[in-house]
Amino acid sequence: MRKEIDFLVIGSGIAGLTYALKVANYGKVAVVSKAFADETSTKYAQGGIATVMYSPDSYKKHIEDTLVAGAGLCDREVVEMVVSEGRDRIEELIAWGTDFDRENDGNYALGREGGHSENRILHHKDTTGKEIIRALLKRAKNHSNIELFEGYFAIDLITQHHLGKKVTRHDKDITCFGAYILNPQLNKIDTILSKITMLATGGSGNVYRTTTNPVVATGDGIAMAYRAKAVVENMEFIQFHPTSLYNPGEKPSFLITEALRGFGGILRNHKGEKFMHKYDDRLELAPRDIVTRAIDTEMKKQGRSHVFLDCTHLNPNELISEFPGIYAKCLSIGIDIRNDMIPVVPAAHYTCGGINVNKYGQTTVSNLYASGECSSTGLHGANRLASNSLLEAIVYSHRAAQKSIQLFRNIEFKREVPDWDDTGLILNEELILITQTQRELQNIMSSYVSIVRSDLRLQRALDRLQLIYKETEDLYKKSILNRELCVLRNLINVSYLIVKMAINRKESVGLHYSIDYPKIK
C-alpha cells in the first residue's frame, strides 16, 4: 500500500500524541504504534511530571536541580526553556482532560523525588502515566484528522538513499520523505510518504536483561535515525532506576517509584542497616546515579541480588492511599508493604541521549523531527532529573508542532520513492537465530556496559557485538523481513552506539561511571 500524509508520527506515547493533537488542526496525521496505542513507557510512568507550581519553589531552583543532576553536561539554555515553558504545557494536558491529585484546599498535591530541592511532582496516585495516556488517546481518537495505526512497525526512514544516491554522514542535505512500515494486516511493507515525519519512539531499555521499560522500548527510532545518517549523541548515559521490584523472571521489571522514597521510604541492606549516609548527604533523595551506585556497591559487598526499601514505619493508611498500585502489586506476590520490606534492585530505565535535535525538535535530517525519550535535547546532560522526561516531551512536541505547522505547506511529497522490494529474498523460519542472539546481546550489555564500567569490559562488549552485528546483517540481507529481525537489528545498532560512545568518553561523569577514570562530579 502507498499512502501520502502531511504528518507521519511514529509513536503514540506522550511525545507522539501531544504533537499529533497540535498539528492535526492543520493537516492529516497518521500515528503508528508497533503495539496497542496505549502500550508505551508513558503508560507506566508512576512518580509524575515535574513543574514549578507554588512558592517557595521557583524556576531558578528547578533549573539548578536539573543542572546539578546533569553533572555539568546539560545545555543551560535548554534547561531554562523547558522549565519555564513547562507550566503552560501542563495546563494544556489538564485542559485536555488529565486529572492530577489535589490537596483538600484545592491546590495540586506535589510529590518529591531524588535530586529535587522542593516538592514539585504533579501526579495521579502512583499511576500518572496511565492517566495521561488515557486522556491523550481519548482526544486523539476523537480527532477527525488523526488516524491511528496500531500494530504497524516502522522499519526504516526514507531518504535520498532509497532513490539510489549514496548518502554519507557528512552530507548536509539529507531529507526524510517518509517511512517504510510493516503492515500487520497484509504482512507487507507499506510506503508512507509524508511531508514531515516525527520520531516519538521512546527509549531502548530492552538492550538490557532487566529493565522497567515495556517490550516496545527497543530503540527503533534511534536506530532508524542513525541509519538515515542523523546525528545521535550521548548514548552512553543510560539511567538505571535504583528501585525496581526484585521479582526474578518478571518482564518488564515493576517500578517502585522514587516518590516512595520522597514519602519517607528508607533503603536497607540485608543486615537491616541503613546505608545511604555512607554515600551522599542527600541520603535516599540523592540523584539517581548516586543511589543506584550505592545500592550496587552494597549488593556486591554482601554478595546479594537485591536490597530493601523499608516503608513499615510510615502511616499505613496514607501509604495505601498514595501508592495503591505498588501496594496491590507487592501484595500479589505476598509482600504487604505496611509490614514487610520491599526487595528492590536497580534496572535499566531511561535513555538520556538519542537523536540530536535543536530547540524545535528538528533533527539534522531535513523534515525529520524527534521528541520524547528517543531525542537528545540537552536537557538531561549526563543524568536525567526524576520526572523531567514527561515535561521535556510536552515542551518539545509543542515547539516541534509550531515549526511543522509553519513549514509543511511548502514541502512536496517525493513521489518517485520506490516501494520496498523483497524479490529474491527467502523466508527465514528459524526464529531461534533471532531470539538466541537477542539474549546474547542483553547478556553482553548487562555484564559489560552496566552501572559500573571499565575500558576492558567495554572493549569486550564491542568485540562481541561486532560478531553478532555481522551475523545479523548477513541474515537481514538474505531474509524477507519480519518484526523480530528488525527489532534485533535495532537493538544491535543501539547497543553499538552505547558502547562506542562509552569508549570515547574518557572520564567518569554522571551515569557513565568507569573504574578507569577519576570521578570529576
> Rounded CA gap, 270 and 187, in Å?
51
Query: If binding is defined by CB under 6 A, does position 46 make contact with ligand SIN?
Result: yes
11 touches, from ligand FAD, ligand SIN, none (C-beta below 5 to 8 Å by class): ligand FAD
Phi, psi for 193 (deg, rounded to 5): -90, 135
Could you please report the per-residue DSSP string of 21-83?
HHHTTTS-EEEEESS-TT-SHHHH--S-EE---STT--HHHHHHHHHHHTTT-S-HHHHHHHH
Question: To the nearest whole angstrom, how small is the minimum distance from the Cβ of residue 351 to ligand FAD?
Answer: 8
178 touches, from ligand FAD, ligand SIN, none (C-beta below 5 to 8 Å by class): none
Question: To the nearest whole angstrom, how small is the minimum distance from the Cβ of residue 387 to ligand SIN?
Answer: 4
> Rounded CA gap, 384 and 318, in Å?
29
Residue identified by cell 559500573 is 452
Query: If binding is defined by CB under 6 A, does position 11 make contact with ligand FAD?
Result: yes
Query: If binding is defined by CB under 6 A, does position 47 make contact with ligand SIN?
Result: yes
> Rounded CA gap, 404 and 368, in Å?
10
With CB under 6 A as the contact rule, which of the stretches 224-232, 326-334, 381-389, 487-495 interacts with ligand SIN? Answer: 381-389
With CB under 6 A as the contact rule, which of the stretches 6-14, 86-94, 185-193, 335-343 interacts with ligand FAD? Answer: 6-14
Peptide bond into 252 cis (omega under 30): yes
Which grid cell sits at 250?
518478571
Question: To the nearest whole angstrom, how small is the minimum distance from the Cβ of residue 153 to ligand FAD?
Answer: 5
CB–CB of 292/451 below 8 Å? yes
Other C-beta atoms within 10 Å of 47: how many?
A: 25
Which grid cell sits at 104?
483538600
- 217: closest CA among 458, 456, 491? 491
Site mask for ligand FAD (CB under 6 A), range 171-210, x = bound: -----------------------------xxxx-------
Site mask for ligand FAD (CB under 6 A), range 37-76, x = bound: ---xxx-xxxxxx---------------------------
Other C-beta atoms within 10 Å of 386: how many?
A: 28
Which grid cell sits at 111?
510529590
**Among 32, 81, 90, 494, contact with ligand FAD (rule: CB under 6 A):** 32
- 162: closest CA among 191, 201, 199, 198? 191
> Per DSSP, which regions of 352-387 are E strands?
354-356, 368-370, 375-376
Query: If binding is defined by CB under 6 A, does position 35 make contact with ligand FAD?
Result: yes
**Among 5, 8, 9, 14, contact with ligand FAD (rule: CB under 6 A):** 14
Question: To the nearest whole angstrom, how small is the minimum distance from the Cβ of residue 4 to ligand SIN?
Answer: 38
Query: If binding is defined by CB under 6 A, does position 258 make contact with ligand SIN?
Result: yes
User: Measuring CA to CA, how many Å separate 81 from each of 78, 148, 270?
Assistant: 5, 31, 44
Query: If binding is defined by CB under 6 A, does position 389 make contact with ligand SIN?
Result: yes
**Among 160, 194, 292, 387, contact with ligand FAD (rule: CB under 6 A):** 387
Q: Where in the sequence numbering do the catalytic residues fall? A: 288
Query: If binding is defined by CB under 6 A, does position 344 make contact with ligand FAD?
Result: no
**Among 98, 210, 377, 387, contact with ligand SIN (rule: CB under 6 A):** 387
Question: To the nearest whole angstrom, how small is the minimum distance from the Cβ of residue 259 to ligand SIN?
Answer: 6
> Per DSSP, which regions of 215-335 are E strands?
232-233, 238-245, 266-268, 307-310
Dihedral sign for Cα atoms in the order 435, 241, 395, 147: positive
Contact positions vs ligand SIN (CB under 6 A): 46-47, 257-259, 350, 386-387, 389
Contact positions vs ligand FAD (CB under 6 A): 10-16, 32-35, 40-42, 44-49, 128-129, 153-154, 200-203, 212-213, 216-217, 220-221, 255, 350, 372-374, 387-390, 393
